[in-house]
Structures are given as structure tokens and as C-alpha cells.
Structure 1
Amino acid sequence: MHSKIKELLQFGTVDTPVEIKGWIRTKRINKQVVFLTINDGSCQQNIQVVMAPSELPKELLSQLMTGASVVVSGRLVASQGSKQAVELYGNHLTLLGNAPDYPLQPKAHSLEFLRTCMHLRFRTNTFGAVFRIRHAISYAIHHFFHERGFCYLHTPIITAADAEGAGELFRVTSLDIPPKNPDGTIDFSGDFFHKSTNLTVSGQLAAEAAAMGLGAVYTFGPAFRAENSNTTRHLAEFWMVEPEVAFNNLDDNIALAEALLKFLLDYVLKKCPEELDFLHQRLLSHTNAQDETGTMPLLERLQFVLEQPFARITYTEAIALLMDAPPNKQGRFVYPVTGWGMDLQSEHERYLVEHHFKRPVVVTDYPKAIKAFYMRQNDDGKTVAAMDVLFPGVGEIIGGSQREERIEYLQAAMQHNQIEDLNWYLDTRRFGTIPHSGFGLGLDRFVLFVTGMENIRDVIPFPRTPGHVAC
């Protein structure tokens, strides 16, 4: 059985026979020796293989190129270099697959170029680090909720409900050309589900129903939004973590959100030091690429966010602060802050985080007119018990609220937003209604923050964005 390179570098014993399998990253040949660096995906580091040219047929030697896959057997020896403790002195090599015209040669490639061959970018150091970190974060999410007694819930991807009421939906149909009724509306009677259905934008409504019986649940899966936002922060297909907790109010919700984010940061700092250090050094080496926060290098930024309590401010206070902010007075905001009732843009959120408070910020009590129908109306009649968590570099990373448990308020909000066909959702208020809260964490935006990458398309394996679907 072959050994993983990660295990050999961590626990390998000198002078033991081993076999490895992997892909060639680099090769260097002289008359006396062949040097290969091999990576098998198990860790950030490569292992160096040293062989005598006489042990390799000339034809095979010419096929040992970057990207080729090989099996190498030999014995582990103490490394002469300083970067690793051991290397492999090979005595037998088998070529599994050659790689003529391999596009990822051992040189720096731009992220834009790598997006054109995203099926190969997993083989680079940068994306190896990013996706191992994404894996660690995903595992830690399950660990966090399991330890706290949450039930993991699989909510539907195909749904008849629009949880956000925004209408930015991908329709699901089995009809080639949907027929129309006499009044011009689409006739779904011959469709697979006999009604209009779409890909979900959120598992929240289903999670609320489950929380009414299970107490504390969370979903973790893909969501879809047909929003034509071709930015560095938006995807058409993205991953959401959505807890819902019975009997929690807004303060409980904020405490849970902060605890989750800090748990994840602590976990990845402890479990992915090599990957984070690589990305930290990558950002430092890009001298022409300014740090997203304008000040802290990556590792210091993660540690700072982990250690600092989150600031808390109401929407009303945020608007007053932003209206008086120098970028607003000097006309440097793309979207000028004109007054109460407007939606906060990413530039406003980042100003609060990066320039005013200089730490993550929780904004609460937004105008009900700019928030979803299910959020609990406050006593002032103008705002709802909403909360957004804002992070440096990315802006909003969590959005949530205390849910409206009073059926008459919920029905009025649904009528105002012209939301129908949610009688099952109203049943959760008819039968034993309770205060409850929840939120959604955008996994991709959190990975973007943790890795220091500049574009959200570089932290999801195969991004789906307006006009672009590959693989």
C-alpha cells in the first residue's frame, strides 16, 4: 500500500521502504541525479524524490514532466535541504499518465488565467490551500452544531416557496415550452410538479418548521439566486449554513452567530497552519495588491477578529454615523448615504468595519421595508428585529433575525409582499407558536475572508455566475 506524503513528512522514519503516488510539480536533471518534487494532494507540501538517471530508461526520462502522474518506490532518507526533514531516494518509478502540453507549468499564473482552466487549478499551491481550508471550515461547522445539540436537517433544493420574497429565482420545469392559460399565465398542469417550482434561495422556512419540533436545527447546503450581480462577492450558486433555534430572541441569535464565527476561526488557525501561512506569504509577496483591510496581514487579521468582541450598532445609529462620515461628505461613496430607509451597500458596511470600529460589527433593527417578510416587527412599527454581521474585506457575512411568531403580523407582512401559498408556514404559528430566531452564514464569503482571496469565484470549486457555467 502506498503512503500519503503528509504522513511521511510528519511521521516518516528514516531508512524505511515506502511507495508514493502523485503528480510531478517540478523536475531537475543533471548527469548524476534526477530531482522530482511530487504532490499527492494530502497536504500543502511536496516531497522531493531523488533518483539516479541510470535507473530510468531514456524514453521514460523524457516523459517525466510537470503534471505527469507517477508511482515511486524507494527508501526514506534524511533530507539535505532545510525545508523538510525527509526525502525519498527512489529505486523504481512507474509512469501512470504523462502530461504533454500541460498548461500549468511551474511558474506564477494569474488567478484570471486559472479561472479559464478551473478543472486543473486544484493542482496549484494556492488552490490546494484554499480548498483544504474550505474543507476544514465545513467540518468545523458540523462539529460546532453537533456539540451544541443541533439536529442537521436536509431541506429541499426544489421548492415552491420564495423565502426572501425577492423573486430572483431559477425556475425548475420538465416542460420544453410551458403552455399558457387564456389569461396569459403559464399553465403548469402538465409540468412535473403540476405547479410553479424553483431552486431554493434558502432552507430557512423548512428549518423553522423543524425547529418547532426538534428545538435546534441547522441546514448546510447550496442555495441559488438569479441575481445579475457580476461582482467579486456574488455567486448564482452558493453554500449557506442556516441554524434555527426555538425560544431564542435576537440577543441569543447574535451570541450564537459570534460564537460560531469565532469557533470556526479558532479551528482553522489550529488545523490549517501550513495552508494559512502559504496564503499569508502569498499576500505579502503581492506588493501591488493592497490588503483588503488596508492594514493587517492575513494571519494577524484572523487572530485579531478571533480575539476582539464584535461591535454592535442599530441601523439608525449606523445611518447617522455614515451620513457624517468623511467619504460621504466628500462624495467618495459610490452610493451616497442620503437618509434613513436606504439599504446599506458593501462600501458602507466596510467603512463601518474597517475605518470606524476597526473590528466586526453587528447592525440591528433595520427598516421593515427593506427586510424580509418573516422578520419580527419591533414595537416602533418601523423596524424589525434583524441582525447583519459585517466583516472586513467582505461586508455582510451573516444575515438573520428573530422571526415573527405572531400570526396576525406575519399574515399582514405576507399580504403586503403579495406572498401566497404558504399556509403550511402559517400553521407553525397557528399551532403552539413560540419566539424563535435564526440566521444564514454565507460559507463562500467566510472562506473568502479566511483565505484572503480577492474574488469569491476563487473559493468555490466550480463557480456559477452570470454568463458563466463551466465543468
Structure 2
Amino acid sequence: MTTKTVAELLSQDITLQDVTVKGWVRTFRANRFIALNDGSTINNIQCVVDFENFDEALLKRITTGAAIHIKGELVESQGKGQSVEIQVKELEVLGDSDAETYPIQPKKHTFEFLRENAHLRTRTNTFSAVMRLRSSLSFAIHKYFNENGFYYMHTPIITGSDAEGAGEMFRVSTLDPKNPPLTEDGDVNYKEDFFGKETNLTVSGQLEAETFAMSLGKVYTFGPTFRAENSNTSRHLAEFWMIEPEVAFMDLAGNMDLAEDFLKSVLGYVLENNKEDLEFLDKRLQDAEKTLPQAERSPMNLLDKIKFVVENNFKRVSYTEAIDILRNSKPNKKKKFKYIIEEWGADLQSEHERYLVEKHFKCPVILFDYPANIKAFYMRLNEDGKTVRAMDILFPGIGEMVGGSQREERLEVLKEKMKALDIPEEELWWYLDLRKYGTAVHSGFGLGFERLVMFATGMGNIRDVIPYPRTPQNAEF
């Protein structure tokens, strides 16, 4: 007899059939009712045991967390909350669970406690739902790019370049940290290191993706990236995943079209395919917000926020127009913003971005043409000499979701920008070569995957949307 998943059994409309299922015990009530879950769905299936037919020693082993194998008959449920249940005929304990020490007891746990038990936290409804959604979003991303003619490329994890120019990178080295070889000047001699030069974990695959776009046309990366930023906020990780498409012959307008269509597609996919998980997480959020003062509650619930993005056209607004709107807004004039907008050139904060989306335009917003001095060196300089063809996409509740730009394809302009920022040409000679051999307009964007998962699940801390978070002073598991 083929083992069925709990999800398959709960979707059956044919009762009075023999079935077999394996999973973990969530609860065992009155020596009779087993709530069984195998991770395939947010829902448990009730398995009804006639204790007179089973050995008492066996029943004592059915504790929360135990792995069991059940054979029985799928019947119409006599109780509330489920349409079918299993009348148990055979029962085998595959793996015992120590009832006294098992951390994930059937009660409410804090997220902090569950992070300390991250190897078991997906046994809870919240985290199983989050990780199923993470998996679905990942699939939807690959599906979208595959159906739209993109090639998936794997950019290096170990690199000698700093794509963002931030300098906050993890060094990769095999040199003896206590006694490294030194140059005549007393500096570490990286020529004797494994790669013969100083190398780091990548912060972005963008620059390498550009090289492939300029030969394959449309490519994307989706892989781990790393940043050694000593930040313990709810929005930062030291290891995270990035989605970065790059397209040849595409300008900024095409880049905005691509990003909007992409976001609507992947979020539409989970709306269609993860209904139960989204409804559970939506209710969880609504229940949690009931304890908050009215002013601190979200203006939209989770499902409405996702539909808000999928169903609305994104408003496209220049940075200059946005600054004027913010400068003249009530929160700014009454000094209710934490960061007051006083003049053109200010770097927008999350509070400003959310005001534009949630209060002013009431739809997702794409800001474009940012000041050059607050954006990366590779972004194309506009004819005004002070702005670049950059774009950020702003979402409700979260602020910036996507950052991208039309790339600077002019060799001499790029050289000047690198010179002004003290970026040595010899470090990026291969990147400059793209501007020497068949240069063309090209564009792309970056999307932090965990930020997208946060938006789709309503989770408030980025540590709760990745299986094993890496943060300052924490590399457990």
C-alpha cells in the first residue's frame, strides 16, 4: 500500500478506503486521538485509536514529537474541524520522543525560544507555513525566469571584487592567522595565500552576471551572498540570498517593467498555491495585532497587502518629485518623521518610503533617477550630471523591496566614476572590458530573497524566514 501524505489524505473525497501515513505526533489526547502532521500541510489529520486493540506499552510511546507509522481506514470524521479521519488498525512507533525534554510542546512559544531551537522549529505551524512559502516563492522565481527566456547562472561565492564598494566583506584565507607571511612593508602578503590575492565572500553576483548578459542576453542569479555588517536589527543577516537578473539591450524603463511583472507573478503564484498557509499566517498576524494600540496596527492584513501589490499598477515617480512630496507632507512639517527631509539629496529612510506607498499614492511605488552621490558607481549617469538611472521599488509595510539600475555602458564615464571613488581599474579590468568589446545599454536589479519572504509571510524579523540565520555572534547549527 502506497504511503500518502497528510495533504493528500485531507483532500480525498473517497472514504472507506485503507490508507497508510507516516508523520510526527502533535498531540495524543485521552489515549484515543492522535493529531498527526508530516509537514505537507498546515493541517493535522486525526487518527482515532481504539486503545483496547493496542498494547499499553506501545500507547505510552506515542508522545508529542514521536515519529509513527499508521495504517487504517479513512472515514468521514465524527468531530468538528476536519472532514476525514483515520480509524487506526496498525500502529508502529518509528522514533521515540522524550516527552520531558522535547522543546516543541503543544503550547505558545516565543520566536526567540524557537530560534534557539531552529532545528525543530519547523515542527510548529508558523514555521512550517513560512518554510513552505519560502519554497514556493523560490520555485516561482525560477519558473518566471525560465518561462521568460532567462538563463540561470551561478556566480562565484569567492571573489576578489567588492561589487557594492561597501568594504564590509568576509575574508577568505588559508594563511596562518597567528603568523601570516608579511611583505617588506609589514603588510600581510596575500600573494602567498591560496588564491594569490586577497579574496572575500561575495556581497553580490551582479558584476559577473553583467558579463554573461552581454553574451547570452538575459540571465539571472539566485544564490547566497554575505555581508560582514555588525548589525543586529530585524532586517539584517550576514548570510542571505539574492535574486539578480541582468538583461542586455534593456533600458531603465524596461527594467522597471521587468521588476513589476516579476513581483506580481511570484506573489500571485503563492496566492494561488499556498492559500492555507497564507490564511493561517494572516490570522496569526491579526490575532497578534489585537494586543497592540490602534496606532501601531497595520493598515492592511497580510492577504490584502499581497493583493495590493499583485492587483495595483506601480506608480513611477522621480526622486526629485518624491522629495518635494515628502518635504511638504504633514509628518515632515510637524516633525513626526524621525529623519526630517530638508533638501534634495537626502537618502530616503523606511518611514519616508512607507509614507509614499501607504499614505500618499496608496499603491506600490517605483522611485527613479536618484542623486549619483548616494548610489553605486556602476549606475548610468544622466545627462544632468547629478542623477543616475537608478530605481527602487517600494512596498507597503516594508519600504524598499528592489534596487536596480541601467548600468553605465560608456567606458570613459565609468572610468571617471571609478577614479572619483578610488576604485582601481586593475581590480575590475574584466568589467571594463565589457565597455571595450561590443558595449550596449543593459540593466538589472537586485532583490533580497528573505525580504520578499518577510513580505509574503508577514514575519517581522528576518531571522524567522531563513532556516538557520547567521548574525553577529551567532553561527549556531
Aligned-pair CA distance for 1:293: 7.3
Q: Cα deviation per residue 1:331-385 (whole Å; 9 max; x = unaligned)? A: 2222222322221122221222122222211111111111111000000000100
Question: What does residue 444 of structure 1 align with?
Answer: 450
Aligned-pair CA distance for 1:12: 5.8
Q: Is the 2:298–2:397 contact (alpha carbons within 8 Å) kept by the matching residues of 1?
A: no
Which of the numbers 424, 428, 437 marks the counterpart of 2:430?
Answer: 424
SS in 2 for 1:444: helix
Segment drifting more, 245-254 vs 312-321: 312-321
Q: Following the alignment from structure 1 to structure 2, what is the Cα–Cα distance between the partners of residues 85 and 51?
A: 17
Q: Is the 1:293–1:392 contact (alpha carbons within 8 Å) kept by the matching residues of 2?
A: no
Q: Following the alignment from structure 1 to structure 2, what is the Cα–Cα distance between the partners of residues 291 and 418?
A: 47
SS in 1 for 2:104: coil
Question: What does residue 330 of structure 1 align with?
Answer: 334
SS in 2 for 1:17: strand
**Does 2:335 correspond to 1:348?**
no
Q: Cα deviation per residue 1:251-294 (whole Å; 9 max; x = unaligned)? A: 00000000000001111100000000101111111112579872
Q: Cα deviation per residue 1:94-120 (whole Å; 9 max; x = unaligned)? A: 111222121111111121221111111
**Does 2:367 correspond to 1:363?**
yes
Question: What does residue 105 of structure 2 align with?
Answer: 105
Aligned-pair CA distance for 1:42: 1.2
Question: What does residue 392 of structure 1 align with?
Answer: 396
Q: Following the alignment from structure 1 to structure 2, what is the Cα–Cα distance between the partners of residues 184 and 261?
A: 51
Q: Cα deviation per residue 1:231-258 (whole Å; 9 max; x = unaligned)? A: 1111111111100000000000000000
SS in 2 for 1:11: coil
TM-score normalized with structure 2 length: 0.95
Q: Following the alignment from structure 2 to structure 1, what is the Cα–Cα distance between the partners of residues 187 and 322?
A: 43
* AA partner of residue 362 (structure 1): I
Q: Following the alignment from structure 1 to structure 2, what is the Cα–Cα distance between the partners of residues 234 and 433?
A: 36
Question: What does residue 125 of structure 2 align with?
Answer: 125
Segment drifting more, 349-358 vs 219-228: 349-358
**Does 2:281 correspond to 1:279?**
yes
Question: What does residue 372 of structure 1 align with?
Answer: 376
* AA partner of residue 150 (structure 2): F
Question: What does residue 88 of structure 1 align with?
Answer: 86
List runs of 5+ in structure 2 lacking aligned partners. none
Question: What does residue 466 of structure 1 align with?
Answer: 472
CA separation of 1:259/1:293 partners in 2, compared to 1, >3 Å: closer, same or farther?
A: farther
* AA partner of residue 77 (structure 2): S
Question: What does residue 42 of structure 2 align with?
Answer: 44
Question: What does residue 15 of structure 2 align with?
Answer: 14
Q: Following the alignment from structure 1 to structure 2, what is the Cα–Cα distance between the partners of residues 352 and 457?
A: 27
List runs of 5+ in structure 1 lacking aligned partners. none
Aligned-pair CA distance for 1:310: 0.8
Q: Is the 1:292–1:393 contact (alpha carbons within 8 Å) kept by the matching residues of 2?
A: no
CA separation of 1:291/1:281 partners in 2, compared to 1, >3 Å: closer, same or farther?
A: farther
Which of the numbers 291, 309, 320 marks the counterpart of 1:288?
Answer: 291
CA separation of 1:314/1:185 partners in 2, compared to 1, >3 Å: closer, same or farther?
A: farther
SS in 2 for 1:189: helix
Q: Following the alignment from structure 1 to structure 2, what is the Cα–Cα distance between the partners of residues 361 and 321?
A: 13
TM-score normalized with structure 1 length: 0.96
Q: Following the alignment from structure 2 to structure 1, what is the Cα–Cα distance between the partners of residues 132 and 65?
A: 20
Which of the numbers 191, 195, 210 marks the counterpart of 1:208?
Answer: 210
Q: Cα deviation per residue 1:438-463 (whole Å; 9 max; x = unaligned)? A: 00111111111111111111111111
Q: Is the 1:292–1:392 contact (alpha carbons within 8 Å) kept by the matching residues of 2?
A: no
Q: Following the alignment from structure 1 to structure 2, what is the Cα–Cα distance between the partners of residues 260 and 186?
A: 45
Segment drifting more, 434-443 vs 317-326: 317-326
SS in 2 for 1:251: helix
Q: Following the alignment from structure 2 to structure 1, what is the Cα–Cα distance between the partners of residues 105 and 40?
A: 21
Segment drifting more, 349-358 vs 200-209: 349-358
Q: Following the alignment from structure 2 to structure 1, what is the Cα–Cα distance between the partners of residues 109 and 295?
A: 20
Q: Is the 2:205–2:221 contact (alpha carbons within 8 Å) kept by the matching residues of 1?
A: yes
Question: What does residue 199 of structure 1 align with?
Answer: 201
Q: Is the 1:293–1:354 contact (alpha carbons within 8 Å) kept by the matching residues of 2?
A: no
Q: Following the alignment from structure 1 to structure 2, what is the Cα–Cα distance between the partners of residues 236 and 463?
A: 8
Segment drifting more, 217-226 vs 89-98: 89-98
SS in 2 for 1:468: coil
**Does 2:44 correspond to 1:56?**
no
Question: What does residue 267 of structure 1 align with?
Answer: 269
Q: Following the alignment from structure 2 to structure 1, what is the Cα–Cα distance between the partners of residues 182 and 356?
A: 49
**Does 2:145 correspond to 1:145?**
yes
* AA partner of residue 288 (structure 1): T
Q: Following the alignment from structure 1 to structure 2, what is the Cα–Cα distance between the partners of residues 393 and 152?
A: 31
Question: What does residue 27 of structure 1 align with?
Answer: 28
Segment drifting more, 295-304 vs 239-248: 295-304
* AA partner of residue 65 (structure 2): G
Q: Following the alignment from structure 1 to structure 2, what is the Cα–Cα distance between the partners of residues 224 and 291?
A: 36
Segment drifting more, 72-81 vs 434-443: 72-81
How many residues are paired up? 468
SS in 1 for 2:434: helix
Aligned-pair CA distance for 1:5: 1.1
SS in 2 for 1:8: helix
Question: What does residue 227 of structure 2 align with?
Answer: 225
Q: Following the alignment from structure 1 to structure 2, what is the Cα–Cα distance between the partners of residues 450 and 428?
A: 37
CA separation of 1:83/1:291 partners in 2, compared to 1, >3 Å: closer, same or farther?
A: farther
Q: Following the alignment from structure 1 to structure 2, what is the Cα–Cα distance between the partners of residues 327 and 114?
A: 38
Q: Following the alignment from structure 1 to structure 2, what is the Cα–Cα distance between the partners of residues 352 and 181?
A: 53
* AA partner of residue 256 (structure 2): I
* AA partner of residue 433 (structure 1): T
Q: Cα deviation per residue 1:407-453 (whole Å; 9 max; x = unaligned)? A: 00111111111222100111111000000000011111111111111
CA separation of 1:43/1:292 partners in 2, compared to 1, >3 Å: closer, same or farther?
A: farther
* AA partner of residue 438 (structure 2): G
Q: Following the alignment from structure 2 to structure 1, what is the Cα–Cα distance between the partners of residues 171 and 88?
A: 56
Aligned-pair CA distance for 1:180: 3.0
Percentage of matched positions with identical amino acids: 56
Q: Is the 1:463–1:469 contact (alpha carbons within 8 Å) kept by the matching residues of 2?
A: yes
Q: Is the 1:218–1:243 contact (alpha carbons within 8 Å) kept by the matching residues of 2?
A: yes
